[in-house]
């Protein structure tokens, strides 16, 4: 066992799991071991992890719900931080919502619906944590997190806290400045709009049902593999290229929605990456369009 893992265990930072396989922690059910998976129970423990990592120069990565994520077969070197109960909360003050990073986006949307608060209808069926949704600017059905986020509380890699306003996050399509910084979202403050609970719930249900009917969400998938390129839909380009059902090892392009790759049971990360590369080459040659992955690839290659 690596010496710094012993130090982590001695530092009282929560649960420390050495050489922990990542496959059970991801929607794709793929991924080799992390040197250490750490589950802090408090914000103070989270700060201790980040400060120890900085002191020992240990890389770290934050794991949300495990959607939109591909962990390589060799796994992740360093610390994987899995947020838990300490950040699994939501508090409503009129139309302002304070949500911990570990709270479910779907669950928050349902709670908002019941209170007659509009703005999260787009989240129907998106299996993300609040922290992941802020980080990736999650969205669907013509809306996204950037439209409702007021500010985010983040823990920086020096162990200090910061409050970032919406404009400071430099949001764009499936992007935030957090993807280029070492910082952990711990809380999001959202501003919703009062409305008719029945209409809001109906809109949410329509979006959810549309997802369930058009996407293979009951299978081992991570979400949409590619961002939609300007002027196009990735799924339409892939389908038009005859790639539905294309398979590499245990990874297969969904026949229901071409922008999803299914782990049929024994897929490796290399299977998925090879399939992603093949799709990119075919679409590039056929349409002169560059497909950019939406899924985050992490780990040693």
Max alpha carbon distance in the chain (Å)?
57
> Which residues, in sequence order, are bridge partners of residue 140?
143
Segment 34-54, tens digit of pLDDT? 999 999 999 999 999 999 999
Q: What value does the CA radius of gyration of the chain take, rounded to a whole number of Å?
A: 19
Contact 241, 232 (CB under 8 A): no
pTM: 0.93
From the candidates 48, 146, 224, 254, which is the catalytic residue?
A: 224
Q: How confident is the model at residue 298 (pLDDT cuts 50, 70, 90)?
A: very high
Q: How confident is the model at residue 62 (pLDDT cuts 50, 70, 90)?
A: very high
From the candidates 174, 211, 227, 247, which is the catalytic residue?
A: 174
Look at residue 95 and tell me whether its pLDDT is greater than 90.
yes
Q: How confident is the model at residue 283 (pLDDT cuts 50, 70, 90)?
A: very high
Count of other CB atoms within 10 angstroms of residue 23: 18
Q: How confident is the model at residue 85 (pLDDT cuts 50, 70, 90)?
A: confident
Segment 100-143, tens digit of pLDDT? 999 999 999 999 999 999 999 999 888 899 999 999 999 988 89
Which domains are assigned to the chain?
3-85 (3.30.43.10), 88-214 (3.30.465.10), 234-298 (3.90.78.10)
Look at residue 17 and tell me whether its pLDDT is greater than 90.
yes
> Which residues, in sequence order, are bridge partners of residue 97?
92, 190
Contact 32, 71 (CB under 8 A): yes
Query: Which pLDDT value is given to residue 54?
Result: 96
Q: Is 181 a catalytic residue?
A: no
Q: Is 294 a catalytic residue?
A: yes
> Which residues, in sequence order, are bridge partners of residue 217?
none
Q: Is 67 a catalytic residue?
A: no
Share of the chain above pLDDT 70, in %: 100
Q: What is the mean pLDDT of residues 180-188?
A: 94
Q: How confident is the model at residue 295 (pLDDT cuts 50, 70, 90)?
A: very high
First-to-last alpha carbon distance for the chain, in angstroms, is 21
Cα–Cα nearest to 145, from 110, 169, 180: 169
DSSP notation for 153-184: EEEETTS-EEEEEGGGG--BTTB-GGGGS-EE
Query: Which pLDDT value is given to residue 135?
Result: 95
From the candidates 20, 121, 252, 294, which is the catalytic residue?
A: 294
The average confidence (pLDDT) of the chain is: 96
Q: What is the mean pLDDT of residues 262-290?
A: 98
Look at residue 192 and tell me whether its pLDDT is greater than 90.
yes
Q: How confident is the model at residue 18 (pLDDT cuts 50, 70, 90)?
A: very high
Q: How confident is the model at residue 87 (pLDDT cuts 50, 70, 90)?
A: very high
Query: Which pLDDT value is given to residue 140?
Result: 87
Count of other CB atoms within 10 angstroms of residue 1: 10
Contacts 24+ apart (CB under 8 A), 151-155: 151/188, 151/189, 152/185, 152/187, 152/188, 152/189, 153/185, 153/186, 153/187, 153/188, 153/189, 154/178, 154/183, 154/184, 154/185, 154/186, 155/43, 155/46, 155/47, 155/50, 155/183, 155/184, 155/186
């Amino acid at each position: 066992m690596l010496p710094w893992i012993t130090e982590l265990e001695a530092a009282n930072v929560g649960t420390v799991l050495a050489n922990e396989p990542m496959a059970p922690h991801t929607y794709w059910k793929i991924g080799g071991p992390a040197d250490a998976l750490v589950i802090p129970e408090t914000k103070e423990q989270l700060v201790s992890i980040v400060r120890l990592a900085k002191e020992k120069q240990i890389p770290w990565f934050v794991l949300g719900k495990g959607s939109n994520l591909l962990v390589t077969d060799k796994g992740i070197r360093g610390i994987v931080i899995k947020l838990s109960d300490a950040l699994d909360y939501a508090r409503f003050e009129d139309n302002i919502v304070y949500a911990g990073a570990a709270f479910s986006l779907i669950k928050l949307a349902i709670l908002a619906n019941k209170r007659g608060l509009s703005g999260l209808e787009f989240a129907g069926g998106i299996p993300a944590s609040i922290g992941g949704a802020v980080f990736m600017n999650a969205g669907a059905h013509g809306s996204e997190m950037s439209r409702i986020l007021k500010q985010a509380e983040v823990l920086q890699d020096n162990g200090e806290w910061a409050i970032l306003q919406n404009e400071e996050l430099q949001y764009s399509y499936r992007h935030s400045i957090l993807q280029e910084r070492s910082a952990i979202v711990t809380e999001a403050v959202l501003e919703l709009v009062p409305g008719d609970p029945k209409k809001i719930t109906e809109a949410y249900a329509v979006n959810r049902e549309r997802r369930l009917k058009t996407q293979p969400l009951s299978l081992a998938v991570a979400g949409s593999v590619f961002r939609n390129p300007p002027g196009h839909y990735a799924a339409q380009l892939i389908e038009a290229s005859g790639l539905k059902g294309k398979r590499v090892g245990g990874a297969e392009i969904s026949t229901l929605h071409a922008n999803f790759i299914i782990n049929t049971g024994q897929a490796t990360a290399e299977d998925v990456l090879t399939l992603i590369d093949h799709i990119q080459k075919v679409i590039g040659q056929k349409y002169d369009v560059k497909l950019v992955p939406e899924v985050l690839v992490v780990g040693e290659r």
